[in-house]
Amino acid sequence: MSLKAINYPHILSGLGLILLGLLAPAVLSVKGFGIFPLMERSLVHASSGALLTASLKLVALNTLRALPIYIGTLLLAQGLGTFRAGAPRILLVLPLAVIPAAYEAIKLIYGIAYDFGIPAISLMLAILLMSRLENMTRRVFHKILVLALLLFGVEWLDTVPLLSGYWFGRGEISTDLKKIAAFLEAEEILNITGIALFIICTTNSFILARLLSVYTKELKVAEQVRLDSELKLRTLENRSLREMQSLVHDLKTPLTSIQGLAGVLAVSVADDPNRQYAARIVEASDKMSSMISEMLRDDTRQIISGREIVEYAAAHVPGLSGLRSFRIEAVEPLPAVAVNKIKMSRAIVNLLENAMEAVGGDNGRVGVRVSARDGRAVIEITDNGSGIPSDQSQLIWEPGFSTKNSSGFGLPFVRETVETNGGAIVIDSVGGQGTRVIITLPEVTDHD
Amino acid sequence: MTDKAITILAIDDDQDILFTLAAIGRTYGWRVITENDGRQAAAKVRGLKPDIILVDYHMPGLDGLSTVDLIRTHDHSAPIIVLTVDERQEIADRFLDAGANDFANKPIKIADLAARIRVHMHMRQQQEQSPAPFCDKGINEATLGLVRSFCRGAAGPFAAEEVAEGTGLAYQTIVRYLQFLQGRRELTASSSYGKVGRPRKKYQWMAKMGP
C-alpha cells in the first residue's frame, strides 16, 4: 500500500477518540447516572415506570461510553485506507480488533466489564459497512449522527429479556435489570419497549444514512453543474473574443488603403495645406493601427503616464463628466507604466462605469487618484455608492456573477487585464458606504 | 539599377489594396503589375520576371503561403515581400521556410515600403555580382550577409528591433536570421528581464575563434 492512501489526520483523531472512550467510564459512571436508586425504587414500589427509566438511562450511558470508541475505530479504518482497492486484507482485522481490545482495557483499568455480545459485533459490522459508503466519507459529522442513532437503537437490545439467552445483555447491570423485570413480571414492557426502540432507532439511522448520502451526492451534482456552466461561460467568452479579434483584424485591410493612399498624397502633392492634411491622415491611421495591434495582442505595451490612461478612460464613460463631484487627482511625480493602453483603459472604463452605477443620484461622488508609491503606480477609484455586501465580496470575481443583469465578465476582465500587465487589484468595500478599488502597476523609471 | 526599371508584381485579393500599391508604385516611378489570384500570379512570374514580388497572406483560394511555395517551385529568385496583418513569428517562420524574404506589416507606410523594396533591390544586385547559393531553408545568403554586417558593426549588445531599423528589414525576418546566426554560434543572446512584459533579448557578436 502506498503511503498516500494513509490519512494521518483521520488516524490521529481516530486514536484520540478511542482514548476518549477509554477515559469515559471515569466520568460517565452508573452512579452518576442515578441508575441504582431507580432500580431500588422500582423494586420497593413495584414500579415498572422506574424500571423503564432505569433502562433508558442505562442505554444512554452505554451509548455515550461506546460512541467515541466506535467512531474512533471508523476513522482509524478510513485513515488506514482499509477499504481502498488493493489494500492488504490484514487491515480489515485491525479495526475489528480495536473494539474488543478497548473493552479489555476498560476492564483492566476500571474493572468494568463491557459486554462484547451480539450488539457490539453487529455494530462493528455496521461500521465496516459504513466506511464503504462513498458519499458518507466526506462528512465526519454525518457519520457521527448516523452511528449515534444506530448505537442507541442497538443498545436497547441488551435490555430485552427475551433475548437473554442469545448473547444479548450479559452485562452486570443489564442482567440485574432483567432480573427485576422478571420479579415484577414486567418483562413484556421491557421486551416491547426495547424491540420497538431498536426498530425505530435503527430504521431511522438507515434512513438518515440514505438521506445524507443522497444529500451529499446532490451537493456534488450541484457543484458539477456549477463547474459546467462556468466552462460554458468561458467557452462563450473565448468565442466572442475570437470573433472580436477577427473583426478587429479585418479593420486593418481598409486601413491599408487609407494609409497607403494618404501616404501617396503626402509625398506627391505640392507644399500646401493638402499635403499637411494627407500627413495628418497618415498619422491618424498609424495611431489606429497601433490601437488595433494592442487590441489583438495582449503583450503589446506602451509606456504611458498613469494619468493619461485614466483620462483616456474617463473620456469614454458617458455621464461621468456630468457628475459634479467627479475629479481626477494626480500626485506628482506622475508615475509612468508600460501597459497595453487599450485594454488597461477598457478595464478602468469598466471600474468607472461600476462606480457610476453604484452612486446613482446627484449626491454621488466618484474620484480617481493617481500616485506613485514604492516603485509602483497606484490608481485608486473611489465612490460613495451602494458598496458591495460582504457576502458577495468573493463572488464578484466569478465570471458570470452579476448584481445588475450584466454579463458578469466585467470584473474578471479587469482583474485579468491588470494581472497580465504585471499589476494587482484590491477591492475594498463596505455595503452602503462606498467602494475603493486600488490598482497597482509596476512603475517604469528607465524607458527601456 | 534605377528605380525606373523596377517591375513589381503585387498579389492581393483586395482591389483597394492593389489600387493603393499601384498608386505607391506610380509615385516612385515603378511598374506595378497587379494580380488578385495566387495561382495566376505564380503562372505569370516566369514570363514577367518581376524584380520584387509583394504577396498578401489572407487570400481566398490559394493563400499567400501556398502562393510563395508555388512561385519558388519555379525557382524564381525575385525577392518576395509578404504583406501581412498577422505579426506572429510562427507565421513569419513558415513564410521564410517557403522561400519568402521579408515582411511588410499592414497597414503600409509608404516610406517604409519604399525603403524595404530598395533594400531588396540593392541586395539582389549584390547577389547577382557574386552569386551565392541558398545556405539553409528559409535563409537567403544576401539577407544573411546584410544582417551579419550590421551585427558585426554594432558597438555593444543590440535588440532585434535595432537590427530591423538599421537594415530596413522586417522585425520578423530579423528574428529568424538572428536565431540562425545564434545557432551557428556567431552571436550570443541574453535575456534582460525588465520590470514588465516579456524579457527582451539582447544579442552580441562573437569574435570568431581560431584562424
pLDDT over 90 at B8, yes or no: yes
What mean pLDDT do residues A129-148 have? 69
Which pLDDT score, from 0 to 100, does residue A448 have?
Answer: 45
How far A129 CA sits from the closest chain B CA (Å)? 57
Which pLDDT score, from 0 to 100, does residue A141 have?
Answer: 77
Ranking A33-37, A190-194, A399-403 by mean pLDDT, the lowest is A399-403
DSSP state of A295: H
Q: Beta strand pairing status for B102-105 and B80-84?
A: parallel
Ranking A222-236, A369-383, B33-47, B192-206 by mean pLDDT, the lowest is B192-206
Closest alpha carbon within chain B to A283:
B109
Of A259, A338, A444, the CB nearest to B108: A259
Whether the model clears a pTM of 0.80, i.e. scores above it, the answer is no
Ranking A50-59, A136-145, A237-246 by mean pLDDT, the lowest is A136-145
Reading across the β-sheet that carries B80-84, which strands appear in turn? B31-35, B7-11, B52-56, B80-84, B102-105
pLDDT over 90 at B33, yes or no: yes
pLDDT over 70 at B3, yes or no: no
Mean per-residue pLDDT over chain A, rounded? 80
Q: Which residue has the higher pLDDT, A82 or A306?
A: A306
- What ipTM, to 2 d.p.? 0.73
User: How many CA atoms are closer than 13 Å to the CA of A22, on its beta-carbon side?
Assistant: 18
CB contact under 8 A, B197 and A299: yes
How far A289 CA sits from the closest chain B CA (Å)? 7
Q: Scanning the structure block, which residue is given the C-alpha cell 471508523?
A: A74
How far A393 CA sits from the closest chain B CA (Å)? 29
pLDDT over 50 at B77, yes or no: yes
Find all residues with CB under 8 Å of A270, minimum gap 6, and list them: none
Which pLDDT score, from 0 to 100, does residue A407 have?
Answer: 63
- Chain A contact for B156 (CB, 8 A cutoff): no
Which pLDDT score, from 0 to 100, does residue A83 have?
Answer: 64
- Say if residues A359 and A385 touch (Cβ distance below 8 Å): yes
* Grid coordinates given for B203: 544579442
pLDDT over 70 at B133, yes or no: no
How far A370 CA sits from the closest chain B CA (Å)? 19
Ranking A88-97, A191-200, A331-340, A376-385 by mean pLDDT, the lowest is A88-97
Of B26, B87, B109, the CB nearest to A259: B109
Residue type, A438: I
* Grid coordinates given for B195: 520590470
* Grid coordinates given for B45: 512570374
Ranking A31-35, A126-130, A163-167, B20-24 by mean pLDDT, the lowest is A126-130
Q: Report pLDDT digits (tens) over A64-75.
A: 888 888 888 888
pLDDT over 60 at B74, yes or no: yes
- Chain A contact for B109 (CB, 8 A cutoff): yes
Range list of β-strands (E), chain B: 7-11, 31-35, 52-56, 80-84, 102-105, 187-192, 200-205
What mean pLDDT do residues B182-196 have? 71
Closest alpha carbon within chain A to B104:
A256
Which pLDDT score, from 0 to 100, does residue A409 have?
Answer: 65
Ranking A92-106, A128-142, A331-345 by mean pLDDT, the lowest is A128-142
CB-based burial, B124-139: b 16+ in 10 Å, e otherwise? beebeeeeeeeeeebb
- Chain A contact for B207 (CB, 8 A cutoff): no
Report the alpha-carbon distance of residue B16 to residue A244 in Å, rounded. 23
Mean per-residue pLDDT over chain B, rounded? 82
Q: Report pLDDT digits (tens) over A16-49.
A: 988 888 888 888 877 778 888 888 888 888 788 8
Of all residues in chain A, what percent carry a pLDDT higher than 70? 89
Which pLDDT score, from 0 to 100, does residue A296 have?
Answer: 76
Report the alpha-carbon distance of residue A404 to residue A256 in Å, rounded. 41
Which pLDDT score, from 0 to 100, does residue B209 have?
Answer: 39
CB contact under 8 A, B21 and A260: yes
Secondary structure class of A194 (helix, strand, coil): helix
What mean pLDDT do residues A249-273 have? 87
Q: Report pLDDT digits (tens) over A209-218.
A: 888 888 888 8
Cβ-Cβ contacts under 8 Å, A417 against chain B: none
Q: Report pLDDT digits (tens) over B90-118.
A: 888 889 888 898 998 888 888 889 989 99
CB contact under 8 A, A261 and B107: no
Cα B63 to Cα B57, B105, B117, distances in angstroms:
6, 17, 22
Which pLDDT score, from 0 to 100, does residue B211 have?
Answer: 38
Q: Name the range with the highest mean pLDDT among A236-240, A360-364, B168-172.
A: B168-172
Find all residues with CB under 8 Å of B131, minimum gap 6, and list them: none
pLDDT over 90 at B34, yes or no: yes
Q: How confident is the model at residue B198 (pLDDT cuts 50, 70, 90)?
A: very low
How far A209 CA sits from the closest chain B CA (Å)? 55
DSSP state of A157: G
Interface test with B, best of A246, A251, A264, A275 (most B CBs within 10 A): A264
CB contact under 8 A, B195 and A444: yes
Q: How confident is the model at residue B161 (pLDDT cuts 50, 70, 90)?
A: confident
How far A306 CA sits from the closest chain B CA (Å)? 15
Cβ-Cβ contacts under 8 Å, A448 against chain B: 192, 194, 200
Report the alpha-carbon distance of residue A291 to residue B27 in Å, rounded. 28
Report the alpha-carbon distance of residue A331 to residue A339 in Å, rounded. 20
Secondary structure class of A140 (helix, strand, coil): helix
Q: How confident is the model at residue B195 (pLDDT cuts 50, 70, 90)?
A: very low
CB contact under 8 A, B20 and A286: no
Which pLDDT score, from 0 to 100, does residue B193 have?
Answer: 53
Which pLDDT score, from 0 to 100, does residue A147 have?
Answer: 83
Cβ-Cβ contacts under 8 Å, A293 against chain B: 87
Of A268, A293, A339, the CB nearest to B27: A268
